[in-house]
Amino acid sequence: MQTRRSLLRLTCYFLLAAGAASGVIPAQAQLFKKPSALSREKGAFYIEDATDREVRVKTLTEAPVYSNLRGERRLGIIPAGRTVSIVAVSETALRVRGRAVHDNVVGWIARSAASPLDPKFMEQLRAATERRKAVDELIAKKQIAVGMTPEEVEAALGPPSERNSRVDAEGRRDTLEYVTYRTVSRQVIQYDQYGQPYYAFVPQKVETGRRSVDFVNGIVAGYTESERLRGRGNGRFVPPPIILDGGW
């Protein structure tokens, strides 16, 4: 058991180190939040899945704005040289928010009508979107994985029973402890007002599982589970949070 746990932690630390080399940031800088009610187009990557920061580009030519990727219903025209905020990116178009000739608009313009995006930015956006999808699936199943943040773990499992923290020369280490219970009926002998014994059933909480989640610098580095909880996410990995830092 100890060997398996050590191997798991060694693998976790390797993944964290590899992630740091590819642009990851500590969990504190990228909090988990539920997706907005924004309507979504299939095949597009949405900025909110990757960052809270605003991503802007400048239009190079007059850019007609459409309500969807199919080019239906023109909403207006954004003049050349105007700065707009990117909402989403597809292979051929950008969903932007900005000022058109007559009013503010949110819609799709051709990517060729705006300043080009750094290929590194697109790689990071794809990776961040894939990670967000994987994390959302885990949360929906109430599962956790190495590489998640504390906010994501709590979104999956709820508030912990106990929190512990330690800061040393190697950084910050946190542990969230989860204990699950079920209520059972226990038969006991009680006495009525005349001193006569009788059997009664009283509710009693019984521990059904225990899970300990370990974090290194805000990222899940490993976790242990009691036998009853095995299989609910055991051995799962997701990349640590990714920061978009290419070309903007």
158 and 219 belong to one structural domain: yes
Q: Is the pLDDT of residue 32 over 80?
A: no
**Residue 133 domain flag:** no
DSSP letter for each residue of 152-195: HHHHHH-S-SEEEEEEETTEEEEEEEEEEEEEEEEEEEEE-TTS
Q: Report d(CA 224, CA 144) in Å as an integer.
A: 11
**Residue 189 domain flag:** yes
Q: Is the pLDDT of residue 84 over 80?
A: yes
Q: Is the pLDDT of residue 27 over 60?
A: no
**Residue 39 domain flag:** no
| Of 61-70, 127-136, 141-150, 239-248, minimum mean pLDDT range | 239-248
Domain span holding position 81: 60-114
**Residue 162 domain flag:** yes
Q: Is the pLDDT of residue 230 over 60?
A: no
For residue 162, the model assigns a pLDDT of: 93
27 and 74 belong to one structural domain: no
Give the CATH number for residue 75: 2.30.30
Residues 149-196 have pLDDT tens digits of 999 999 999 999 999 999 988 889 999 999 988 888 888 888 889 889
For residue 34, the model assigns a pLDDT of: 57
**Residue 38 domain flag:** no
Q: Report d(CA 36, CA 39) in Å as an integer.
A: 9
For residue 49, the model assigns a pLDDT of: 82
Domain boundary at 72, 99, 114, which? 114
**Residue 46 domain flag:** no
| pLDDT band, residue 20 (cuts 50/70/90) | very low
Q: Say what angle helices 150-157 and 119-140 make with each other, to 10 degrees.
A: 30
151 and 221 belong to one structural domain: yes
| Of 17-31, 32-46, 147-161, minimum mean pLDDT range | 17-31
80 and 16 belong to one structural domain: no
**Residue 138 domain flag:** no
Residues 6+ apart with CB under 8 A from 187: 199, 200, 201
Q: Report d(CA 139, CA 210) in Å as an integer.
A: 18
Count of other CB atoms within 10 angstroms of residue 3: 7
- Say what percent of the chain tops pLDDT 90: 46
More confident residue, 23 or 193: 193
200 and 151 belong to one structural domain: yes
28 and 149 belong to one structural domain: yes
**Residue 37 domain flag:** no
Residues 109-141 have pLDDT tens digits of 999 999 999 888 888 898 988 998 899 999 999
- The number of distinct structural domains making up the chain is 2
Q: Is the pLDDT of residue 18 over 50?
A: no
| pLDDT band, residue 216 (cuts 50/70/90) | very high
Query: Which two three-digit tokens encode residue 205?
Result: 């909480």
